[in-house]
Amino acid sequence: MEKRCYYEILGVSRTASTDELKKAYRQLALKYHPDRCPDDPEAEDRFKEASEAYEVLCNSEKRSIYDRYGHAGLQNSGYRGFTDASDIFSSFSDIFEGFFGFGGARTGRPRTPRGDDARYDLEVSFENAIFGKTTEIEFTRLKVCSECNGSGAKSPSDIGTCPTCRGRGSVVSGLGFVQMSSTCPSCRGTGTIIRERCAVCKGKRLVKKKAKLEISIPSGVETGNYISLKGEGHEVPGGVPGDLHVVFIVREHEFFTRLNSDILCEMPISFTQAALGTRIEVPTLRASRKLAITPGTQSGTVLKIQGEGVPGKGFYSGGDLLVKIIVKTPTRLTAEQEALLREYARISGEEAPEKKAGAFQRIAEKIF
Ligand SMILES: [Zn+2]
Ligand SMILES: [Zn+2]
């Protein structure tokens, strides 16, 4: 299915504020909510579409990628959208608050606990960020303790009913008409107590485990771009694991810098090369290319070598290498070079100073 423009989906302008986005999304979410339109696949598609548009446009980073490179750019940065409706509800619980029933969750569906998300900062060389690469990362995440199956107890017989709340998980305080119910302080709401703790996880129910994963760095990533790997985050007993967010940090290059999809560099040339014209060799990320300098090139001129930038992908085209020409003024002249330059100045009708630093001396004599 052809993806529609996010702004169009929400019916907002390209400069819409967060408040405007929220308002537009709330209206659409109410209209196409799965509880309101059960067994209507088209409404479900509309609901998903609007949720994705809202998620992207509300996130300044994702929004700027989308504004610049469109859907393909987002995909390239690792954005995958939502998998199902419950994914949407857990992401925007603030939006659904007070929509239907209690707490915004869908009626009749208990919420599965979800593990925490994990984050991994992946340093990427300048070249690998341009061309993309597959690499392996090693990181630590929390896994459900296999010794106690996440119960935290040494053996099942070490799990007992909490005497404070008698297994209810909550305690009632107050007398008469005003009664307050709160989470049981002894068992923290679990309703159970552990007599002897698991020796491996010390009763924490989770253990730290090293994990290795293959990560494919998408071509063209910039510092701050990230990919999210579903279910590769921390586990939680009796629930689903969180996600792993791999954040890319691109190292600087000694010669090249990056501007969106273009690569920039500076090339020094002598002033005679600039005046007479020449061909110079410019290094690129792939090999080196010859570049013609036309006679009379000024310092600061930017020359373009097409197709030597970030490679194109999907519907957005690749960038170029922009070479900024810096004309170097010689700092040390031999007697012969100096004589020739003085001659050059004389022919050009310039007033040549008699000796080195003469001009400065004349100015200095006037001032002091
Ligand atoms: Zn209790
Ligand atoms: Zn354990």
Domain ranges of the chain: 1-111, 112-154+201-252, 156-195, 262-329, 336-368
- Which one is the CATH code of 112-154+201-252: 3.40.1160.10, 2.60.260.20, 3.40.640.10, 1.10.10.10? 2.60.260.20
Architecture in CATH for domain 262-329: Sandwich (2.60)
**Per-residue confidence of the chain (368 residues) as pLDDT tens digits?**
578 899 999 999 888 888 889 889 888 888 888 777 777 888 888 888 998 999 899 888 888 888 887 887 787 777 777 767 777 776 776 666 555 433 334 444 456 889 999 999 999 999 999 999 999 999 999 999 999 999 999 999 999 999 988 888 888 877 666 777 888 888 888 888 999 999 999 999 999 999 999 999 999 999 999 999 999 999 999 899 999 999 999 999 999 999 989 999 999 999 999 999 999 999 999 889 999 999 999 999 999 999 999 998 777 788 999 999 999 999 999 999 999 999 999 999 987 566 555 555 556 656 65
| Alpha-carbon gap, residue 340 to 45, rounded angstroms | 78
Judged by DSSP in three states, 237 sits in: coil
Residue 262, CB-side half-sphere exposure with 13 Å CA sphere: 13
322 CA distance to ligand 1 middle (Å): 68
Q: Are the folds of 1-111 and 262-329 the same?
A: no
Q: In this structure, how many other beta carbons lie within 10 angstroms of the beta carbon of residue 110?
A: 6
171 CA distance to ligand 1 middle (Å): 8
Please say whether the beta carbons of 112 and 74 come within 8 A. Answer: no
List 209's β-bridge partners, or say none.
141
207 CA distance to ligand 2 middle (Å): 8
Ligand nearest to the CA of 143: 2
Hunting for tokens 């993806």 — which residue is that? Answer: 3
183 CA distance to ligand 1 middle (Å): 8
Please check whether the domain covering 1-111 is classified as CATH 1.10.287.110.
yes
155 CA distance to ligand 2 middle (Å): 10
pTM above 0.95, yes or no: no
The DSSP call for residue 253 is -
181 CA distance to ligand 1 middle (Å): 12
Angle at 60 between CA 59 and CA 65, to 5 degrees: 100
List 121's β-bridge partners, or say none.
247
